[in-house]
Structure 1
Amino acid sequence: MTTIWTPELRAFRDDVRAFCEENLPADIRLKVLAGVPLTRPDHMRWQDILAGKGWLVGFWPRAYGGCDWSAAETYVFQEETTSSGAPWLLPFGVNYVGPVIYTYGSTDQKAEHLPGITSNEVFWCQGYSEPNAGSDLAGLKTRAVRDGEYYIVNGTKIWTTMAHWADWIFCLVRTDAAAVPQRGISFLLIDLRTRGVTIQPIKSIEGDSHLNQVFFEDVRVPARNLVGEENKGWTYAKFLLGHERVLSAEVGKARRYLRRIKRLAARNGKNNSPRLKDRLSRFEVDLLALEQTTLRVLGAILAGEARGHEASVLKIRGSAILQQISDFAVDVLGTEALSYDPEWLRENAGMPLEEIESMGVVSEALYTRAPTIWGGSNEIQRNILAKHALGL
């Protein structure tokens, strides 16, 4: 198997670490380490810094503004920035719709949409799930009916992350109701400022409103915003989900969470607890195994041997381990966790880390209920592995 740890890759890892140390704003890093929900300006400020360095879309081809990073460099960048306390690199434009557009989009679509992503000037969100079609995307009902040079869109999307901050949404829409479900879907780009679009925030379990329901009522979308061919959207959707799942191991974030547990335990006088040491050791072993699995997948990608379903393993294990670590952090807090107040957390975001960290631990533990659901629930991922890896 191809090894990814070349001297060049190790040097790149050191460069990423040094860049984060020198350029990640202290106030943003504090919020991330404390578990305080970030604002749109927080995300955009960090992504502006990355864009200035040329690293916002590093894995994109140079022809479209990227650095031609390998899969290994992309992995190292994600893990090192996350581990350092940098915000989640919002994936909707960079990792999702951008690659769809430069792979399947028209020349005009590339010229119109890619520069706004590389410069961090246009904010995207993802319109896949619907009230009765979450992981089962083939069951979506949002309709797009052709009317001359437009599509008329009616329906709704739900659990739409950060739609209230977004400028554009990329949607799966049904363009042929008579076709087999997967074959009647198209991939459409919609300006959220268009008349007939309504965005309704949804408060999630940790008390934040990063989720939304988006309603479309007779929304007129130019036909030129159709990506690829009509009724071929399922192909583009699977391509996008592959990008989503291969980045879902999140080893860097999990390691950051483990460092937090050690800080909390030391502060609460629990750092010599045999139970704590046992659990931390088990988590470390799990993360080493997950990292090695990720590296094997990347090695297969680099060697051209990956078959496509391997990312499901990373999604299942990465999301489950993150949940287990965040749950254990709440256990370490003990009764401190009972005082959770999301409003207090937001209002006191600038306080020293040790004074707000306990509240942030609970916030993130609640938020991490989601990773086993988004990007195709873990139950769906197990079905994918059963069919494509085990032949069941």
Structure 2
Amino acid sequence: MNMDLSPEDLAFRDEVRAFLAAHLPERLREGARNTPSVFVEPDIGDEWHRLLHARGWVAYNWPAEDGGTGWDPVKRYLFEKECALADAPALSVLGLKLIGPVLCRYGTPAQKARFLPPILDASEKWCQGYSEPGAGSDLASLKTRAVRQGDRYVINGSKIWTTHAHYADWMFCLVRTDPDAKPQAGISFLLVPMKQPGITIRPIVTHAGDHEVNQVFLDNAETLVEHRVGEEGQGWEIAKYLLENERGGSCAAPRLLADIEGLKRVAESEPSGTNGPLGAQDSLRRRLARLELEALALETTELRILADLAQGRRPGPQTSLVKLVAANIRQAIDELAVDLFGPLGLQLPPERPLYGNSAPEPVGSREAQLAMPAYLNGRAWTIFGGTNEVQKGIIAKQVLGL
């Protein structure tokens, strides 16, 4: 793949930079910098979403005919990289990068007309109903049951680790519609309204102090048959397509590289306590250099995947490689930050958010205050979207042929 940017690509990059300089407020940049978790709070995430929607750039991985930008892989990469460098808040993946592309590919015209516009303008939020107690890594063993009764399904079961269910209007949900079929063959993909009497949401507060995830109980919850995506029994196929997008449908490397640069800047100003800044220590410089090289290699792989997507080819099992490597680099960055700040990096304030007028005062710098919350929240990187062990199994079987 030709890695040189064309004059058109360079002009686009400059256009994105100019837009970010003019329209990304400092309060959103500050909020993004001081968010230790994967998902940003709606107060900054929604505002940034709407600013991008007004510019026509929010659904940058959707086809143009469905309301997206229709950008090629290079433009998508450049956009994500410039947003990362500018400290833009991360957009919620649940609507834009997970269910959105599924509807673009598998949805009926009526489903697209109903659900895509509210994703674009952020008037409806989504959550993902995949994992269950006892059916996380072994997703095919899920037990949540949906029984068709006339024009609707009645659903009973529970989902766990459901990110932002407490904000969501809809859940895209894997359910078992045929208990007698083979595990994967009996699963269907439903869109379920969250604001109904049959749904109870129980918050789960993580060790980091963040309320991102929940357990959701479905007790005779209902959804219309017209809200089933694909046919009955096609849910496993759709779920795999969605997971490929989750694991490799965007670029993690630009954000990782931006965070590594941030650590470099801190290391150059943080005193070592012996002689000069921490950045002068050979051991720290080696760790930073290794992380940067690994992130650059990941970036190249992500660009190859985006090129495959542009040619209409599904990325396949190489997305598992991206997910595995990105998760390990993310955790290594967080570990290095805790080591960098020493005792000041051990503080764990329970308040959220860690930005704005109500943020708790840090002990030392704000960067030091973020180190431990980010480290603890980042332990989930090797779990969500498929654990490291699941990714290694996919790579061994489908890539290495073992």
- Compute the TM-score of the two structures, normalised by the length of structure 2: 0.92
Question: Structure 1 unaligned runs (5+)?
Answer: none
Alignment match, 1:18: 18
Corresponding residue SS for 1:171: strand
Return the match for 2:263 from 261, 264, 268: 261
Counterpart residue type for residue 178 of structure 1: D
Q: Percent identity?
A: 42
Corresponding residue SS for 1:224: helix
Alignment match, 1:131: 133
Deviation of 1:75 after TM superposition, in Å, equals 2.5
Corresponding residue SS for 1:109: helix
CA distance, structure 2, for counterparts of residue 350 and residue 21 of structure 1: 28
Deviation of 1:53 after TM superposition, in Å, equals 0.7
Counterpart residue type for residue 5 of structure 1: L
Corresponding residue SS for 1:343: coil
Deviation of 1:306 after TM superposition, in Å, equals 6.1
Corresponding residue SS for 1:170: strand
Return the match for 2:390 from 373, 380, 383: 380
Farther-moved stretch of structure 1 (353-362 vs 211-220): 353-362
CA distance, structure 2, for counterparts of residue 111 and residue 248 of structure 1: 25
Deviation of 1:307 after TM superposition, in Å, equals 5.6
Q: What is the 5 A alignment of 1:249-288?
A: 249-269=251-271, 270-288=278-296
CA distance, structure 2, for counterparts of residue 36 and residue 52 of structure 1: 27
Farther-moved stretch of structure 1 (359-368 vs 74-83): 74-83
CA distance, structure 1, for counterparts of residue 219 and residue 135 of structure 2: 19
Counterpart residue type for residue 19 of structure 1: F
Alignment match, 1:329: 337
Kept in 2, the 8 Å contact 1:345–1:356? The answer is: no
Alignment match, 1:188: 190
- Compute the TM-score of the two structures, normalised by the length of structure 1: 0.94
CA distance, structure 2, for counterparts of residue 124 and residue 130 of structure 1: 17
Taking only aligned residues, the RMSD between alpha carbons, in angstroms, comes to 2.1
Kept in 1, the 8 Å contact 2:130–2:173? The answer is: yes
Alignment match, 1:54: 56
Alignment match, 2:274: none
Kept in 2, the 8 Å contact 1:36–1:345? The answer is: no
Kept in 1, the 8 Å contact 2:347–2:363? The answer is: no
Counterpart residue type for residue 13 of structure 1: R
CA distance, structure 1, for counterparts of residue 377 and residue 302 of structure 2: 24
Q: Deviations over 1:190-230 (max 9, x none)?
A: 11012211111100121010111111001121111111101
Alignment match, 2:88: 86
Q: Deviations over 1:268-294 (max 9, x none)?
A: 211211212111111221122111222
Q: Deviations over 1:324-374 (max 9, x none)?
A: 011101100001123321327647439799742211122111111111111
Kept in 2, the 8 Å contact 1:172–1:233? The answer is: yes
Structure of greater relative contact order (alpha carbons < 8 Å, 6+ residues apart):
1
Q: How many residues get paired?
A: 392
Return the match for 2:181 from 179, 182, 188: 179
Alignment match, 1:312: 320
Farther-moved stretch of structure 1 (79-88 vs 146-155): 79-88
Alignment match, 1:120: 122
Counterpart residue type for residue 128 of structure 2: Q
